[in-house]
């Protein structure tokens, strides 16, 4: 596959959209509950991707099997991690949340060894996992005594990273679908399910919504939830998954420093060291035996 300036531009755009999602969640939570953030994020993202799919002349599947797969993706890859992250960010900073999500590719390595016969562990993957996990442990100990981040909130975001990893393994085992169609259908299913799970999120006086929180949740739905899915698949199709995997190094860095620059969140030496350890773990795990 040919990698050109356009691919790098799209990769930068994707990193900014996904890296800023934690900042937007933080601002949305100033008014909305975690469940409302999840529900409206999915609803706005679904509308965005349905419009994109119509623009490209796509049609949705008519058989039941793809929709059953979309339900699995909707629950494990959207509703569950979105709720865990939003609930976790009630008690931890946006930068910390972005930093913790970097553990996802390392968890995926272990799950792939168990569930994917052609993706076994090697010494580099094991060593990379140990380095990355040591970074997480480096965060957990001071967080108990740190007023800005709670131990429970950190565990919730780590659980969200594990949910994303599980979703990645499931996607590797199930049939692949048209990326635009699958993105639109998964978000549509996820938004419908979220309104069934939390019907109370409908009952809100929109005239009381602060402009900044309202704008944040709209941006969260359009960019990191909707448009980012489209950019993600464009990069996959034009440059390949290996090139796309570079986001694992960049997103936590962007999320961490956006929180510091725009929200005034503390930059602690321990957090910087943890970030370095986790990203180093990802890097080492990519070596070939």
Query: How many CB atoms within 10 Å of residue 229?
Result: 23
Q: Mean per-residue pLDDT for 7-15?
A: 91
Average pLDDT, the chain: 89
Q: Mean per-residue pLDDT for 244-250?
A: 81
Kindly list the distances between the CA atom of residue 179 and the CA atoms of 175, 190, 235, in Å, as whole numbers in the listed order.
Answer: 12, 16, 11
Under 8 Å between Cβ of 37 and 218: no
Alpha helices of the chain — where are they, by DSSP H? 5-28, 34-55, 64-74, 80-88, 94-100, 104-115, 123-143, 151-173, 179-197, 211-220, 228-239, 241-244, 247-263, 269-285
| Residue with the larger pLDDT of the pair 99 and 229 | 99
Lowest mean pLDDT among 64-73, 101-110, 235-244, 249-258: 235-244
Under 8 Å between Cβ of 37 and 217: yes
CA distance 200 to 222: 22
pLDDT above 70 covers a percentage of the chain that reads 95
Question: Given pLDDT bands bounded at 50, 70 and 90, which one contains residue 65?
Answer: very high
Lowest mean pLDDT among 23-32, 90-99, 119-128: 119-128
- Give, as one character, the DSSP assignment of residue 103: G
Extents of the domains making up the chain: 5-199+212-285
258-268, pLDDT tens digit by residue? 999 999 988 88
Backbone angles phi, psi at 72, to 5 degrees: -60, -50
pLDDT for 205 equals 86
Q: Mean per-residue pLDDT for 160-168?
A: 93
Under 8 Å between Cβ of 34 and 86: yes
Under 8 Å between Cβ of 187 and 78: yes
Instruction: Flag whether pLDDT at 159 surpasses 70.
Output: yes
């Amino acid at each position: 596959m040919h990698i050109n300036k356009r691919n790098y531009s799209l990769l930068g755009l994707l990193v900014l959209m996904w890296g800023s999602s934690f900042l937007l969640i933080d601002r949305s939570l100033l008014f909305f509950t975690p469940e409302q953030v999840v529900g409206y994020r999915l609803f706005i993202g679904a509308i965005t991707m349905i419009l994109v799919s119509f623009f490209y002349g796509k049609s949705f599947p008519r058989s039941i099997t793809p929709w059953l797969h979309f339900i699995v993706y909707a629950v494990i890859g959207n509703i569950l991690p979105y709720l865990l992250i939003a609930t976790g960010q009630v008690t931890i900073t946006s930068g910390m949340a972005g930093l913790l999500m970097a553990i996802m590719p390392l968890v995926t390595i272990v799950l792939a060894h168990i569930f994917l016969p052609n993706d076994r562990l090697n010494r580099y993957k094991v060593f990379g996992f140990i380095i990355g996990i040591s970074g997480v442990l480096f965060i957990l100990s001071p967080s108990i005594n740190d007023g800005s981040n709670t131990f429970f909130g950190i565990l919730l975001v780590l659980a969200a990273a594990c949910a994303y990893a599980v979703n990645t393994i499931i996607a590797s085992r199930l049939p692949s679908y048209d990326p635009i169609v699958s993105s639109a259908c998964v978000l549509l299913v996820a938004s419908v399910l979220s309104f069934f799970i939390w019907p109370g999120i409908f009952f809100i006086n929109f005239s009381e919504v602060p402009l900044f929180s309202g704008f944040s949740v709209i941006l969260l739905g359009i960019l990191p939830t909707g448009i980012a899915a489209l950019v993600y698949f464009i990069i996959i199709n034009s440059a390949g998954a290996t090139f796309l995997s570079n986001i694992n190094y960049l997103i936590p860095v962007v999320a961490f420093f956006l929180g510091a620059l725009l929200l005034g969140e503390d930059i602690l030496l321990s957090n910087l060291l943890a970030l370095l350890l986790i990203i180093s773990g990802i890097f080492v795990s990519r070596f070939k035996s």
